[in-house]
Structure 1
Amino acid sequence: MSDLRRILILALRLALLLLLCSGIVLTDAGVTEFDFGTLTLTSLKLLGDAHWSNGSVRLTRDLAVPYSGAGRVLYSEPVRFLCEGSRSPASFSTFFSFSVTNLNPSSIGAGLAFLISPDAESVGGAGGSLGLQGDSASTPRFVAVEFDTLMDVEFKDINGNHVGLDLNNLVSAEVSDLGSIDVDLKSGNIVNTWIVFHGSTGDLTVHISYSNMKPKSPILSTNVDLSLYLNDFMYVGFSGSTQGSTEIHSIEWWSFRSSFDSAPSPPPPVSNTTNLTNLSANQSPAPSLGPSGSEEKINGKSSCHNQLCKKGPGAIAGVVTASAFFLAIFAGVFIWIYSKKMKRVNKSSDTLASDIIRMPREFTYRELKSATKCFNSNRIIGHGAFGTVYKGILPDNGDIIAVKRCSHDSQGKTEFLSELSIIASLRHRNLLSLQGWCHEKGEILLVYDLMPNGSLDKALFESRIPLPWHHRKKILVGVASALAYLHQECENQVIHRDVKSSNIMLDEGFNARLGDFGLARQVEHDRSPDATVAAGTMGYLAPEYLLTGRASDKTDVFSFGAVVLEVASGRRPIENDAAVNNNNATCIKASNLVEWVWRLHREGMLLAAADPRLEGEFEEAEMRRVLLVGLACSSPDSDLRPTMRAVVQMLVGESPEPSVPRARPTMSFSTSQLLLSLQDSVSDCNAMVTTLSASSTSSMTSEGQSYFPGDEIV
């Protein structure tokens, strides 16, 4: 191995010497790149009505009273858009997520725009101007892609739901109807946008979708010479305005990247490799802009002249030939060493691979590290069972993903294998889709689709606008359908064991996706479950599961019942003791949601449990049916709980609403079950004593045992 190392070092030194002698200079490519995950408040300029709010930037005010105003947010540093000397425009790509919500849906207008402007100090007019252009004739030049929510005849708008390219003019040079791709700017849904401009060709494309996947076809595509509308340095950001409305324009995520094409033809492989290996994970989700050419720094400014062009043709040919020869030697040595190393790695991972069946794509660690900006803490979007979840953007295709980084201990590996082996074989529209996995460098990573509307608990308790009733009902039907599939339609029954609102994700259409299978177990149908240490979250756990540790489909049904009551009432399953007085109901103190709803039902006041934030915007018959289903599922007697297939039929109205007694049933527990539970407890105690005697530490792990933050228990 020492001989190989010496050969490798010698080859590298010779290649470096050859490059230095040839006069090739490998310098910084002058790339400008940033994203919301790494920006600080000082990196942005907030102008006019723009302000921070809960991790996003809002371009307009949060007012319930209609008003007219405008705001801008800009990256604080100017970006070079014209190449010094040649005056050719920079290539750039940007990805951003935004939403348009309205406190008063009948009040609409005007919209927002992605903006490139030389002005970083002022804001344009309100209303149809979108904050882009002022009243004076001396308004600085600008380039913008507008998202207009108001049809303005003055600016020749085609409708109140379109995207347009504005070039120094509010009358769009190119425009497309967003209704053609079923995107409604005023829906309140998060809209994802990809804008790509190739400086060498002048091609500009705009892709728009509710989905995290970049559409195959752009909504807007044109060829334009942006050098006619750009200064050497410009600011990038967003502008938005209202026109006698209560629209709120929020930028939820933004990434941007710009660079200069070195020449019409591709640059040499040396500079190509150098630049591509340094691409950031958060470049805007779009195809590659093309490799950036080598640049030379002169007096602190970027020069866009390629250094190789200063050499004669013979010198270039000699350099390329010699470089190729030494690189071939280096590659041969490297491949031989790498193959030897991979044999050892493959041998060590045979055990892991044998546990994985019918797996989706296997990602490399490098891909996921790049996608999450080295697992930057600013990219954390949640904490699941045995792992942290990060937001990522795949650099090769721009897809937005969620990366679950599992715990490094043996328990984390066990849960990783459990989650991977179970969910990889599941196929249902209401289950969170697993894109792939990675097991390298001691890391265990799972890759999922990222849900643009987050988790159900955040939609219920953290959203400024109440989740509408029709969304809530659709979500419950979706989760019930997923559980019916797991319990009764899979080859082996799957017990989720952690059904709760924070594990229910919402896609762009507020369809439910049940996720986090870290605690799930597979059992044969009609087989009694094994006893384990109860794991889950208080408020969702069935009483018999807490007592015996035996999870079954009935314990999942109880958890689902708690979710149903949570969705209908807008209350968390466990709250501090507080007086509750919904819809003039009798003041009842209750920290447990299930108990509280049972008391209201006993007093004939079931509809008083409805979420007051809905302000009565629901059909009473539907609300009553949903609340009764929640009570039936959360019955203390597991034998009285319906199957999930029956629950689906009741929720969609295919079968009558359940007959729920006014008095809450008592828990049914047979003598044989009690004896079996006691035997399991004795066995567990014996095993614990044995383990503690054999170990010099107080650390102990067993199947089903885990630690959860907050109100989760083991």
Structure 2
Amino acid sequence: MYILMEKRREAKLKEKFFKRIGGLIMQRLSSPDGNVEKSKLFNSKELEMATDHFNQDRILGKGGQGTVYKGMLADGMIVAVKKSISIDEKNVEPFINEVVILSQINHRNIVKLLGCCLESEVPLLVYEFIPNGTLYQYLHDPEFPFSWDARLRIATEVASALFYLHSFACIPIYHRDIKSSNILLDEKYRAKVADFGTSRSGALDQTHVTTLVQGTFGYLDPEYFQTGQFTEKSDVYSFGIVLVELLTGQKPTTSLLGETCIGLASSFITAMEEDHLFEILDPRVREEGGEEEIIVVANLAKRCLNLKGRERPSMKDLVIELEGIRKRSEPSSSLAQHQEEVDHADPNEFEADDDLSISRRSGADLGSIRLSDGRALLTRVTW
């Protein structure tokens, strides 16, 4: 009788948690017309076993919305399990929002959501495991200097992910919290954009979303802060701060001019206007990067940080320009080989997650943006 009563009590408790953290909403999303497959629902015991009952030794990181643990599922698959801090409505909304957003996304530079658990006391999300931590950790760790080529590649990958969110997802998605600590690095140090708890979707004909101002100090778009209207150009501003971090190796609240009242964005722009760019660069960037390409990337960052959002470049422009810089920095032989491969590629051979590839057609000034289904969007580029 006691065992039976305990099982019934546990079942009622799980049902209570299921409803409290939005289970009924998730049920609707799991319908044939929804976005979340039923196979992506984990049970609480499975995730407790995977994380050794959320052992402190398994913690990968902590944030404002929860703690992330390393876990191993019964089939041996390594995953990251995000456990929300509490169960109040303030934390339930980001949980539901992140599931809905990530269920619509398939891009190789965006972290994959594997599933969620709705029957635990607090929300649990299960992601693919990204082994090499965050970009923030590496940029600000003097013992692990990133090469210039790696920085340029990571910038291009993050721009590609944001371009996809703004343009290629079924509806436009604004990330709203782009920063180096939300950019993870996989086993090959490729960028993976993460943390979509504060992200928002907009209608196809919508130019902005009006919300309470949220974001991280140092990355927040000043125009968004003043108006409460978040646009795709607000993500561009935050990406500009990440570019400055990649160039200088400094934190977003640091002043490059030694003045405590000026942050990274303002001091970077001032240094450029006063022709002191190469004095503020990270030593590795200064040693390895070509002068011309460094100046081009710095000017891209400056344009991203324009106080007027409409005068900032789009993510599409940034991807094209960053890819152009990378192609020009390649040795001519490897560039020719790459061009030959692209020119003779079968569009049907692109993988499903190859959402964006940009190539330069020889003898022309057209950049070819090719989507995963083989459709090509031609855009004029200055090389």
Q: What is residue 27 of structure 2 aligned with on the other side?
A: 353
* Equivalent residue for 1:384, pick from 32, 48, 63: 63
2:211 is the alignment partner of 1:537? no
Which amino acid in 2 is paired with 1:400? Answer: I
Cα distance in structure 2, aligned partners of 1:351 and 1:411: 16
Contact 2:209–2:231 (8 Å) recurs in 1 = no
The superposition leaves residues 314-345 of structure 1 with CA deviations (integer Å, 9 ceiling, x where unpaired) of xxxxxxxxxxxxxxxxxxxx8xx699869967
2:306 is the alignment partner of 1:628? no
Cα distance in structure 2, aligned partners of 1:566 and 1:344: 46
* Equivalent residue for 2:288, pick from 606, 617, 637: 617
Q: Are the structure 2 counterparts of residues 598 and 590 from structure 1 closer, same or farther at C-alpha, using a change threshold of 3 Å? A: farther
Contact 2:152–2:326 (8 Å) recurs in 1 = no
What is the TM-score with the length of structure 2 in the denominator? 0.76
Cα distance in structure 1, aligned partners of 2:18 and 2:307: 50
Q: What is residue 92 of structure 2 aligned with on the other side?
A: 413
Cα distance in structure 1, aligned partners of 2:149 and 2:14: 55
Contact 1:506–1:513 (8 Å) recurs in 2 = yes
SS at match of 1:381: strand
Structure with greater strand percent: 1
SS at match of 1:652: helix
Contact 2:211–2:228 (8 Å) recurs in 1 = yes
* Equivalent residue for 1:604, pick from 266, 271, 275: 275
**Deviation of residue 350 (structure 1)?**
2.9
Q: What is residue 191 of structure 2 aligned with on the other side?
A: 512
Cα distance in structure 2, aligned partners of 1:445 and 1:392: 12
| Greater radius of gyration (CA) | 1
Identity of aligned residues (%): 36
Cα distance in structure 2, aligned partners of 1:344 and 1:399: 28
* Equivalent residue for 1:637, pick from 308, 314, 328: 308
Which amino acid in 1 is paired with 2:63? Answer: G
Where in structure 2 are the equivalents of 1:320-469 lying within 5 Å? 348=19, 349-355=23-29, 357-359=34-36, 361-394=40-73, 396-406=74-84, 407-462=86-141, 464-469=143-148
Contact 2:256–2:264 (8 Å) recurs in 1 = no
2:201 is the alignment partner of 1:522? yes
Contact 1:542–1:558 (8 Å) recurs in 2 = yes
Q: Are the structure 2 counterparts of residues 452 and 463 from structure 1 closer, same or farther at C-alpha, using a change threshold of 3 Å? A: farther
**Deviation of residue 436 (structure 1)?**
1.2
Contact 2:249–2:281 (8 Å) recurs in 1 = yes
**Deviation of residue 474 (structure 1)?**
0.8
Contact 1:432–1:448 (8 Å) recurs in 2 = yes
Q: Are the structure 2 counterparts of residues 7 and 550 from structure 1 closer, same or farther at C-alpha, using a change threshold of 3 Å? A: closer
2:331 is the alignment partner of 1:652? no
**Deviation of residue 442 (structure 1)?**
2.4
**Deviation of residue 516 (structure 1)?**
0.2
**Deviation of residue 465 (structure 1)?**
2.2
CA RMSD, aligned part only?
2.9
Cα distance in structure 2, aligned partners of 1:374 and 1:347: 20
The superposition leaves residues 429-483 of structure 1 with CA deviations (integer Å, 9 ceiling, x where unpaired) of 1101111111113221111112111100001112612011111111100000000
2:230 is the alignment partner of 1:551? yes
Q: Are the structure 2 counterparts of residues 408 and 652 from structure 1 closer, same or farther at C-alpha, using a change threshold of 3 Å? A: same
Cα distance in structure 1, aligned partners of 2:281 and 2:173: 32
SS at match of 1:545: helix
**Deviation of residue 500 (structure 1)?**
0.3
Where in structure 2 are the equivalents of 1:159-238 lying within 5 Å? none
Which amino acid in 1 is paired with 2:166? Answer: H
Cα distance in structure 2, aligned partners of 1:555 and 1:433: 24
Contact 1:633–1:642 (8 Å) recurs in 2 = yes
Residue correspondences, number: 318
Cα distance in structure 2, aligned partners of 1:463 and 1:366: 41
**Deviation of residue 564 (structure 1)?**
0.5
Which amino acid in 2 is paired with 1:482? Answer: A
**Deviation of residue 528 (structure 1)?**
3.9
Contact 1:543–1:636 (8 Å) recurs in 2 = yes
What is the TM-score with the length of structure 1 in the denominator? 0.42
Q: Are the structure 2 counterparts of residues 416 and 441 from structure 1 closer, same or farther at C-alpha, using a change threshold of 3 Å? A: same
Q: Are the structure 2 counterparts of residues 497 and 346 from structure 1 closer, same or farther at C-alpha, using a change threshold of 3 Å? A: closer
SS at match of 2:114: strand
Cα distance in structure 2, aligned partners of 1:347 and 1:373: 22
Q: Are the structure 2 counterparts of residues 526 and 342 from structure 1 closer, same or farther at C-alpha, using a change threshold of 3 Å? A: same
2:253 is the alignment partner of 1:574? yes
**Deviation of residue 632 (structure 1)?**
0.8
SS at match of 2:118: strand
Moved more, 629-638 or 398-407: 398-407
**Deviation of residue 642 (structure 1)?**
0.6
Which amino acid in 1 is paired with 2:152? Answer: K
Structure with greater helix percent: 2
